[in-house]
Amino acid sequence: MADLRLVGVTDDGARLILEREDGGQEHVAVDQRMRSLLQRPSTEATQTQLDLESRLSPREIQARIRSGQSMNEVAAEAGISVERVERFAGPILHEREHIAQEAAKVSVRRDDHGAVMLLGELVGQRLEQRGVPRDGMAWDAWRRDDGGWEVRLDYLAGGQERSAEWVYDPARRTMTADDDEARWLLEEEPTAEVTQLRSLRSVDKTADADTATSPEETDQEPVAESEPPMKSGTQEAIDTLLRGRETVPDAPPTKRKKKASVPSWDEILFGSRKPE
């Protein structure tokens, strides 16, 4: 396809004059659609060009970025370049960053002196005590399908990439832990892992109960022993001989099974106990 360069319009203004590389000219009729495009501001012209090329409208692109999709994912879905998506993603990415910063300022508890502790402060202190630097913590947020915001903290702990998620309600300024790591960071009891650990304890207790005396046995009234019958002289002689023999030693007592040591949540996350 030959490249054309606009050099002017015809005297009646009805056609554009385009020049080819070899010096020849081509004419293109100026219709109503072309006039409207030429009269629009540059931003509207850009949007019109995007509407013609993209499988997603600018509003749809922004909605997908707001819901947490990356620019690469949206560009692949829309069939356009990442640079084109970036023109519309900028304001939404700033919105997500602002929501994450506001969520980190939500009051989540009080310390031992009654002072209010914000989410970012509490989480930062707990992770710093375990060797996670502040600059190694990255906050992000995106809009959920139910209208709330999901807030996530990414960090490196115990040699592994980890994340904790909360649900943020900007209207009420409330934060609700959405996974076990978020609960742990808020000093709440995790659910899934701890439930599994508790089940191990219950197994140990069941094993101990099997070796113990049943309640029915302990509640029974002791049976009075009857007095031994009078022994004859021959029986007494036999008993005397038997007492002189070696007696078989009693079997050694069975050792009680030691309970399994249950790891703490710090050991699960960081591979070691919390430093004293």
In the structure encoding, which two tokens stand for residue 242, read together? 């038997």
Structural domain range at position 70: 54-92
CA separation, residue 218 to residues 127, 130, 213 (Å):
51, 50, 7
What's the pTM value of the predicted model, to 2 decimals? 0.53
- In this predicted model, which residue has the larger pLDDT, 265 or 164? 164
The torsion angles phi and psi of 252, rounded to 5 degrees, stand at -60, 145
Q: Is a pLDDT exceeding 90 seen at residue 232?
A: no
Q: Does residue 165 form part of some domain?
A: yes
**pLDDT score recorded for residue 269:** 59
- What pLDDT shows up at residue 274? 54
pLDDT tops 60 at residue 92: yes
Measure the CA–CA gap between 4 and 17, rounded to whole angstroms. Answer: 10
Q: Is residue 248 part of a domain?
A: no
Mean pLDDT of the 193-206 span: 44
Is the domain of 130 the same as that of 199? Answer: yes
12-35 pLDDT, tens digit each: 777 877 777 777 778 888 777 776
Number of domains in the chain: 3
Q: In the prediction, which pLDDT does 218 show? A: 44
Residue 178 has pLDDT above 90, yes or no: yes
pLDDT at position 53 is 72
pLDDT band at 213 (very low <50, low <70, confident <90, very high): very low
pLDDT greater than 70 at residue 85: yes
Helices 82-104, 58-66: inter-axial angle, 10-degree rounding: 40
With H, G, I as helix, E, B as strand and everything else as coil, classify residue 115: coil
Give the Cα-Cα-Cα angle 148, 151, 157 (nearest 5 degrees): 160
Place of tokens 């080819």: 20
Q: State how far the Cα of 104 lies from the Cα of 94, in Å rounded to an integer.
A: 16
Greater confidence (209 vs 187) lies with 187
- What residue type is assigned to position 185 of the chain? L
Share of the chain above pLDDT 70, in %: 58
37 & 86 share domain: no
Question: Residue-wise over 178-205: b if at least 16 C-beta within 10 A, else e?
Answer: bebbbbbbbeeebeeebeebeeeeeeee
Question: Looking at the structure, do residues 166 and 124 belong to the same domain, yes or no?
Answer: yes
CA-wise closest residue to 16 among 1, 31, 3, 2: 31
- In the predicted model, what is the mean pLDDT of residues 221-236? 51
Same domain for 35 and 87, yes or no, is no
Residues 276 and 188 in one domain: yes
Average pLDDT, the chain: 74
End-to-end CA distance of the chain: 75
Q: Is the pLDDT of residue 227 over 70?
A: no
